[in-house]
Amino acid sequence: MGQETIGEFEHLVLLTILRLGDAAYGASIYEELTAHTDRPILRPAVYNALRRLEAKELIRSELGDPTPERGGRAKRFVRLTDGGLTVLHDSRRTLLSLWDGVAAAIDEAK
């Protein structure tokens, strides 16, 4: 598998999955994204991104145990694959490199 290309929203979803760890599933990802962004997040967009990321083999999912508070339905938990971690690592390195030396210019402009 070659290096996967991901969009900004998929990037945010991957970061959120990493942040949530074992507690990452659709609703928790939606709630965490909503808490940390200043833009509206649509629930269906989260689930669509999860399907795309799984198709790209950047995440994997598995059903948890059914819970009474969900009417006996199980949550589908997601985890990053090695490929997903690599994408985030490479993205972080690129962004830090690009930010080097320009943060002061942005701070001065505000």
Domain boundaries, the chain: 8-109
Nearest CA among 87, 65, 88 for reference residue 75: 65
CB neighbours of 4 closer than 8 A, spacing ≥ 6?
A: 56, 57, 58, 83, 87
As a whole number, mean pLDDT of residues 18-47 equals 96
- pTM beyond 0.95: the answer is no
Please state, in angstroms and rounded to a whole number, the distance separating the CA atoms of residues 58 and 80: 6
Is the pLDDT reported for residue 110 higher than 80?
A: no
Tens digits of residue pLDDT in 40-68:
999 999 999 999 999 999 999 999 877 77
pLDDT for res 1: 44
b/e code 13-39 from CB counts within 10 Å (16+ = b): bbbbbeebeeebbbebbbebbeeeeee
Q: What stretch of H or E contains 12?
A: helix 8-20
CATH of 8-109, one of 3.40.50.300, 3.30.70.260, 1.10.10.10, 3.10.310.10: 1.10.10.10
